[in-house]
Amino acid sequence: MNTEQRLEKIEKYIEERKQQQIKYPLDVNSITILSEYFMRISESIKFLAGVSGREFEIFLGSQGTSNFQVPKVEYFRFTANPSTDQLTTQVNFSNDAYVLVLSSNTAPAGLTSGSAYYVVNTTGTSFKLSATSGGSAINITDTGTGNQYLQLL
């Protein structure tokens, strides 16, 4: 086997290893591939915060030699009441909380899916939304269609 053939064989071997399927039990190459190319959650930390002592959880992740915080995105389902302009959820939101409205179909009239708003006039799990912090409440004229969600920003 000449040098050129050996180099071709080595290059083929390297290419096969790059495309290797990860199998169990893991071999050294699979472990290397997993740690270098895939993100994994390495730790989760829970803590209580805020006046109501709401529980938060932070996820720490790693990939290769990089460590980072993985944001936990929470979505809260809500219903809209057009006669009062109030939204109701299962959780308490505080005034001036900044939230993103999302809808699986059509957002309640007056709100736009994908837009952010401020919580105003909160009374526990019921509140109104405003385009500005401490501003006037948005007039909601229907309940929308599909599922309605808020994401705390």
The tens digit of pLDDT for each residue in 91-139 reads: 999 999 999 999 999 999 999 999 999 999 999 899 999 999 999 999 9
Contact at 8 Å (CB) between 149 and 75? yes
- 128 & 82 share domain: yes
* Of residues 22 and 64, more confidently modeled: 64
Residue 53 confidence (pLDDT): 62
* Of residues 51 and 119, more confidently modeled: 119
CATH code at position 112: 2.40.30
Write the CB contacts of 153 (distance below 8 Å, at least 6 apart in sequence). 98, 99, 100, 116
Contact at 8 Å (CB) between 89 and 151? no
What pTM does this model have? 0.59
**How many domains does the chain divide into?**
2
Answer yes or no: is 8 within a domain.
Answer: no
